[in-house]
Amino acid sequence: MPLRLPFRLIPRAQPSQRMLLIAPLLAVTLTLVVGLGIFAALGQNPLVAFRVFFIDPVSDINGVSELLLKASPLCLIALGLAIGFRANIWNIGAEGQMYLGGIFATGLAIHFHENGGPWLLPAMILAGAVGGALWASITAFLRAQLRTNEILVSLMLTYVADLLVKYLVYGPWQDPQSNNFPFTVSFSDDALFPVLMNWWDWLEGTRINLSLLITVVAVPLAWLFMDKSFVGFQLSVAGLAPAAARYAGFSEKRMVWIALLIGGAAAGLAGVTEVAGPIGQLNDRWTPGYGFTAIIVAALGRLNAFGIVLAALLMALLYLGGEAAQISLQLPKAISQVFQGLLLMFLLGCDVLVNYRVARRMPANALVNA
Amino acid sequence: MIESLNPLLASAIAAAIPLILAALGELVVERSGVLNLGLEGMMLIGALASFVAVAHGGGLAASVIAAMAAGAMIALVFGFVTLTLQANQVAAGLSLTILGTGISAFLGRQYVGFRAPASFADLPIPGLSELPLLGPSLFSMNLLGYATIALLGGVAWFLYRTRAGLALRCIGESPVVARSLGLPVIPVRYAAVAFGGAMAGLAGCYYAVAQFKMWQEGLTSGNGWIALALVVFATWRPLRVGIGALLFGGVSALGLYLQAINVQVSVFALSSLPYLATIIVLAFISSNQNAIRRNAPASLGKAFHADG
Amino acid sequence: MKTWKHAAASLAGAAALLAAPLISHAAEPLKMAWVYVGPVGDGGWTYAHDLGRKAAMKALGDKISTTIVESVPEGADSERVIRDLAAKGNKIIFTTSFGYMEPTLKVAKAFPKVDFYHATGFKSDKNVTIYNSRMYEPAYLAGIIAGHVSKKGILGFVASFPIPEVVRNINAYTMGARSVNPKITTKVVWVNTWYDPGKERQAAEALIGQGADVLLQNTDSSAVLQTAQDKGVNAFGWDSDMTAYAPKAHLGSAIEIWGGYYTKVAEAAIAGKPLKTTVWGGMKDGMNDLVSISPNIPAAAKAVVAEKAAAIKSGKVQVFTGPIKGSDGSIKLAAGKTLTDKEIDSVNYYVEGVEGQLPK
């Protein structure tokens, strides 16, 4: 066989707690080694490059605030997705569900632009969650009733959602003062998440806002739901052993609905935190790709609520680092992407150490002699 | 009247060819039980490799070889991480897309701004190309177009008419059973992944050297995702990949065609037609559950530890 | 080998370098930064801006140092990037896409000593200056050529989004053609994207299928031009000179020329008198042009285009001069009058000769 490696993997009885920590460190080290070669080949000092990439972006309050601002929606979406992924329900259309959350919230913000009140933002949050869940419910309905594949439907609906945003901002929702450019009015203060620096002076100049609270609350809730609730248990069983789940009488249709509605609602919430957060309006090119990135975040976080928090922070840092590398080192964006891809591959690869033990393979002829 | 449909059909077929190539590769990968979401990344790598080959005077054969080799190589990175190191296939596939996009954009910078010095020209088949309706479209393709038709048949024949194809399907269905039958699960999956990468690379070659005759960053503009959806749409049947790609290419051409003849419908609604059509048709197909259950590889996306 | 030696050497000096600040304050070139919406390798809009940046670097040598950040999404990320660039000591920042308007204004308030230049927007501030290019002028000239070359009297336009900039380019192209042949009509197909070669190609195929034989596009790739060559019709390049993509089909390229403007902005800042007036430059200012005009076009066309180009460059002729009729037959502008810049910048109708209705 062509694939005889000098080692073999032996499954562990229990996932290794030690390796849970060591594996990511090993991945970072490997990325550093490969990155060393790449940066050196580009004539950059690799150590400076790494400092720019990983440390500079979060070396001040503003940097940390930006990190949280970017990680928060990623984390929120990934938590929702993880619930479905555990049940083998592959919602890859969180991006579209996020747009719908943004659309629903924007609808309220525009309609009550002149006569808002303290109730407006909570109403928008609710509307956003409903919007995302409604969009996901199309996928859920087709999957539960007709067994139509959710990967395809949720992905296709993302393209439709994108066009729906465009239709609205080029048409009925366009700001009359916009010179026919595609955006809505800027939301009134009632329709925006308050920025935290209003309360704490030491956050002066940062953009971090109250929407972070949604994610902070969602993390323990998601953990309780996934790891401690009976429904969460049912979902996991349905994913790991579908036959056993059927035998135990867990309704598959119910699982599909729960997984997709939660995923959609979470993505919708993330949409609200963006349009009512740092953007403050809806426009046609609001496509940060969080819904797709969150899929990586969920998998990288091993579908565990706290793992997802770490993974979201890491992905956010990779983005900020990529920007910093362009600004400080004049490296092209592509090299940051290469770097991100490498690190992700190494992280995924090194995860093998958690569940497997590496042993040296005995030479083939040793077996014969024995 | 029929003549006015000719450009529409030709446009649909031209858009469908690369989708078919990439989707056929992914279909074989998925039939072996592996889900590789990195099509977009592999296509971009293939596109750049083929363009570099012709840009340096390598000729068309070299461009095909370069594209397929490059696609297969980057796919094997995914293979190693998921098959040997048992990583999550969904995450690894998405990471592969990031990696492929980055590598192609970085290495391709000096190839932006000029036409491919050689490209695949249309080769009308004498006689057949004069037939009404299908003549000017189906029988006036370039070499890669004809190769795609052959590959469609080839993959179908391989999967359903050969022992190796049976083994591959068996491995995708139940790797545990396959192993107990003595089938080499992991090597076959490696081969499938490499084949998928080569086909995605070939699709990239079609874009760079046949259709657009140029290299630009992100040349494939999201078509890898459409190809991925087509595999599901086709319920893992090769010939249906062809039908699905034609449907998608056709409806998307139709939306633009309707604009050109001044049909007054929102352009945003017209643009969403291909996506909605795909969903609706799949929903209809789904009513025949037996067909899907028979074809969907049961072990899709799940890691398999070969123990040695 | 060399690279590894380099790596080893750099490892040795690692600790010192980790502590050292990145920005050196030795000789003080003017620090300028550009925020791009696409990759430099897009061959279109961003590529043209980067050519402009390179031209400024060439003209001013070590008097300036430049930084770029490419593919910056127009959502929440752009504000951070612009802010970072300002915080890192850049004195002049160009934000080169419409969607950066609000973030640019926001950051500018926090950095009163930095001068911001925003392309294609319409809101300015004390330290935010707007600049744009009248691409409708070369589009009009392209129309004149198309009017001479078209055999069927049908032109095609592959359009991205129904914003005023794109609409006025469609209008100018059509008006140019109709100034030669009043029977000409333009068919428009909207692709709802700035960059998707596959869609752009299909749109071109649809137009060609409906008889259009000279195409222009307001999208970023060269796919429309390439398709024209494959199908044996003619087309133009857009944003940058695209002759090399399709030498046979290519009739000329309407190009953006940002280099002169970027150089001027830098020179003014170095002299201590920063440029702060809105610049909406056209061919007169050398900010755009129709270049690489095909030698194969009829002699009459060559003469008319040369004459009109000279008239536009001298300021004698304005493209949007009345009488202008809307595609619904209504009078939009009386004879002898010209559209004001404000009217041009918010145009929301097709002129006579453009088929169909503007998407709403």
Chain B, chain C: beta-carbon pairs less than 8 Å apart: 119
Residue A106 belongs to a domain: yes
Q: Which chains touch C (3 or more CB pairs under 8 A)?
A: A, B
Which residue on chain B is closest to A293 by alpha carbon? B94
Residue B305 belongs to a domain: no
Residue B54 belongs to a domain: yes
Q: What is the pTM of this model?
A: 0.90
Residue A16 belongs to a domain: no
- Is C161 at the interface with chain A, CB within 8 A? yes
Residues of chain A with C-beta less than 8 angstroms from the C-beta of B271: 163
With CB atoms and an 8 Å threshold, state whether B221 touches C223: no
Residue A154 belongs to a domain: yes
Residues of chain C with C-beta less than 8 angstroms from the C-beta of B259: 188-190, 203, 206, 356
Residue C49: Cβ-neighbour burial (10 angstroms; 0-12, 13-18, 19+) = buried
Residues of chain B with C-beta less than 8 angstroms from the C-beta of A340: 98-99, 102
Local structure of residue A275 (DSSP, 8 states): I
With CB atoms and an 8 Å threshold, state whether A147 touches B217: no
Residue B109 belongs to a domain: yes
Alpha-carbon distance A170 to nearest alpha carbon in chain C (angstroms): 6
Local confidence band at A157 (pLDDT 50, 70, 90 cut-offs): very high
Query: Are C257 and C251 contacting, i.e. CB atoms less than 8 angstroms apart?
Result: no
User: Best of A38, A345, A354 to disrupt the B interface by mutation (most B CBs within 10 Å)?
Assistant: A345
- Per-residue pLDDT of chain B (308 residues), as tens digits, is 556 677 888 889 999 999 999 999 999 999 999 999 999 999 999 999 999 999 999 999 999 999 999 999 999 999 999 999 989 898 899 999 999 999 999 999 889 888 899 999 888 888 877 777 777 777 888 999 999 999 999 999 999 999 999 999 999 999 999 999 999 999 999 999 999 999 999 999 999 999 999 998 889 988 999 999 999 889 899 999 999 999 999 999 999 999 988 888 888 998 999 999 999 988 888 777 666 666 778 888 777 776 54
Q: For C136-255+288-344, which CATH superfamily applies?
A: Response regulator (3.40.50.2300)
Give the HSE-up count for residue C359: Cα atoms under 13 Å, Cβ half-sphere: 28
Instruction: Give B91-135 pLDDT, tens digit per residue.
Output: 899 999 999 999 999 999 889 888 899 999 888 888 877 777 777
pLDDT of residue A3: 53
Residue B301 belongs to a domain: no
Question: What contacts B7, CB < 8 A, 6 or more positions away?
Answer: B257, C205, C206, C208, C209
- Residue B38: which domain range? 2-295
Alpha-carbon distance C204 to nearest alpha carbon in chain B (angstroms): 9
Question: What contacts A230, CB < 8 A, 6 or more positions away?
Answer: none
- Is B305 at the interface with chain C, CB within 8 A? no
Total of domains in chain A: 1
pLDDT of residue A38: 83
With CB atoms and an 8 Å threshold, state whether B109 touches A170: no
Amino acid type, C114: V
User: Residue B285: which CATH number?
Assistant: 1.10.3470
Total of domains in chain B: 1
Nearest to A155 among B87, B103, B229 (CB): B229
- Residue A198: which domain range? 70-306
Q: Which chains touch A (3 or more CB pairs under 8 A)?
A: B, C
Alpha-carbon distance C314 to nearest alpha carbon in chain B (angstroms): 32
With CB atoms and an 8 Å threshold, state whether B279 touches A156: yes
- Is B11 at the interface with chain C, CB within 8 A? yes
Instruction: Give C86-107 pLDDT, tens digit per residue.
Output: 999 999 999 999 889 999 999 9
Which residue on chain A is closest to C15 by alpha carbon? A47
With CB atoms and an 8 Å threshold, state whether C10 touches A47: yes
Alpha-carbon distance C229 to nearest alpha carbon in chain A (angstroms): 31
Residues of chain C with C-beta less than 8 angstroms from the C-beta of A181: 98, 122, 163-164
Residues of chain C with C-beta less than 8 angstroms from the C-beta of B269: none
List the CATH code of the domain at C27-133: 3.40.50.2300
Amino acid type, B308: G
- Is B109 at the interface with chain C, CB within 8 A? yes
Residue B300 belongs to a domain: no
Interfacial B residues in 86-115 facing A (CB < 8 Å):
86-88, 90-92, 94-96, 98-103, 105-106, 109
User: Best of C50, C157, C199, C213 to disrupt the B interface by mutation (most B CBs within 10 Å)?
Assistant: C199
Question: Mean pLDDT in each 10-residue stretch from start to end of chain C (360 residues)?
Answer: 44 42 60 93 87 95 94 89 94 94 94 95 92 95 97 96 92 96 96 90 94 94 92 94 93 95 95 91 94 94 95 93 91 92 90 89
With CB atoms and an 8 Å threshold, state whether A326 touches C67: yes
Alpha-carbon distance A203 to nearest alpha carbon in chain B (angstroms): 34
Q: Where are the domains of chain C?
A: 27-133, 136-255+288-344
Interfacial C residues in 214-233 facing B (CB < 8 Å):
221-223, 226, 230
Within chain C, what is the greatest distance between any pair of CA atoms? 76
| ipTM above 0.95 for this complex | no
Mean pLDDT computed over A276-300: 89
